[in-house]
Amino acid sequence: MTVTDPAQVAYDDLGTGGPALLFLPGWCGDRTVFDPLLPRVASHRRAISMDLRDHGESERTETDFGTGEVVADAIALLERTGAEQVVPVGLSHAGWAAIELRRRLGADRVPAIVLLDWMVLGPPPGFLDALAGLQQPQAWEQVRSALFAMWTTGIDVAPLHRYIAGMAAYGFRHWRRAGREIYAAFTAEGTPLAALERLDVPCPTLHLYAQPADDGVLAAQREYGVENSWFRAHRLAARSHFPMFEVPDEVATAIEDFLCTAR
């Protein structure tokens, strides 16, 4: 897809000090997902959160776009705000944009990456089929409902449910794009860890997550971290796909500890 000119995206900008954190929401969501985190991390350093184009409070467009445009918008925002050195904090599949930011801007401007609740080991069985379903007019709502149930069942956290309700306001056009872009990234890159391995210079990377609550998944990530010292994984004391609504202090502390020790 041809990358179009950068869009004027809505954003929040709190705190001072670097490297700044650039919070990237996932598809079909907005930057309010980071509201519990921003004041906490801004006590230590600058924190910028952005809406994707055609999401949240950003400008609306009928023009199609993809991850390339998201990255271009993020770079334009960094130039507009004067943020020289940033650590992208990518929620879920916004991790692909975080990795691409590191590729484009290099290690000097993007010294580290934080990933929030992502499939760093690769998609689980059936997930690619679900992404294909999101692109089908007759199946997308059923797939979306299954995702929402996985993210919320048994979790009584009101802000989380309000955020999911906001995600439900996005229609087929947005969810089809999400399925297309995520599917394309996994097809082109393999796993997120494989994509990170291919960077010219190893990038200190922290993965903070709650789902899945599978000890085997945590053990596999820790074993990978032993073999690849640039990677760390930390399972949070939370249960949802959006742990910032459950344990914002733990998330903020883990990010700051990582940045103070990342090399």
Q: Which residues are catalytic?
A: 241
- Read off φ and ψ for residue 144, nearest 5 degrees: -60, -40
Residue with tokens 């796909």: 241
Distance of alpha carbon 78 from alpha carbon 76, whole angstroms = 5
**Beta carbons of 181 and 27 less than 8 angstroms apart:** yes
Residues sharing a CB contact under 8 Å with residue 228, sequence separation 6 or more, in sequence order: 193, 197, 202
Distance of alpha carbon 196 from alpha carbon 127, whole angstroms = 21
| Residue positions counted in the chain | 263
**Strand pairing class (47-50; 113-116):** unpaired
**Beta carbons of 134 and 176 less than 8 angstroms apart:** yes
Closest CA to 99 of 88, 85, 84: 88
Provide the residue type at 125 as one letter. Answer: P
